[in-house]
């Protein structure tokens, strides 16, 4: 009976570790894809600059 409990705990631990690693991977992938989408879009970059500088009129990105 104790062997069964130990095996079950090991299985649950492996599942938990996998879920944590998979969650981190998804978070990093989402963050990187969001960064690249924002860096490639001039409109988003202009909007971000406007937000950071208090909606001032800024020269266009050359």
**pLDDT, mean of residues 48-55:** 64
Domain ranges of the chain: 1-57
Residue 21 above 80 pLDDT?
no
The answer to whether 32 touches 24, Cβ cutoff 8 Å, is no
Query: What's the number of CA atoms in the CB half-sphere (13 Å) around residue 8?
Result: 5
Mean model confidence pLDDT for the chain? 70
């Amino acid at each position: 009976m104790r062997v069964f409990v130990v095996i079950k705990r090991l299985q649950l631990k492996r599942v938990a570790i996998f879920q944590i690693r998979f969650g981190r991977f998804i978070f990093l992938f989402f963050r990187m894809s969001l960064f690249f989408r924002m860096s490639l879009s001039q409109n988003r970059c202009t909007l971000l600059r406007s937000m950071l500088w208090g909606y001032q009129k800024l020269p266009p990105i050359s």
